[in-house]
Amino acid sequence: MQALNIYVAHPYDGHEENKKKVEEFIKLLIKKNIFHKPNFISPIHNYGYLYNNMEYEKGIDLCLNLLNECDILLIPKFEKIKMSKGCLIELGYAKHKGMEIIHWEDVVSINESN
**CATH code at position 64:** 3.40.50
Contact 71, 6 (CB under 8 A): yes
The pLDDT tens digits of the residues spanning 62-80 come to 999 999 999 999 999 999 9
Cα–Cα distance between 43 and 87 in angstroms, integer? 11
Structural domain containing residue 90: 4-8+31-107
| Model confidence, pTM | 0.90
Q: Considering the domain boundaries, does residue 24 fall inside one? A: no
Contact 92, 65 (CB under 8 A): no
Is pLDDT at 108 greater than 70 in this prediction? yes
Q: Considering the domain boundaries, does residue 21 fall inside one? A: no
Q: Considering the domain boundaries, does residue 68 fall inside one? A: yes
Q: Considering the domain boundaries, does residue 67 fall inside one? A: yes
Is pLDDT at 84 greater than 70 in this prediction? yes
Q: Considering the domain boundaries, does residue 100 fall inside one? A: yes
Is pLDDT at 32 greater than 70 in this prediction? yes
Is pLDDT at 89 greater than 70 in this prediction? yes
Q: Considering the domain boundaries, does residue 85 fall inside one? A: yes
* Number of independent structural domains in the chain: 1
Cα dihedral 12, 42, 23, 57, rounded to 10, equals -10
Cβ partners under 8 Å of residue 110, min gap 6 = 25, 28, 104
Cα–Cα distance between 65 and 75 in angstroms, integer? 17
Cα–Cα distance between 62 and 76 in angstroms, integer? 20
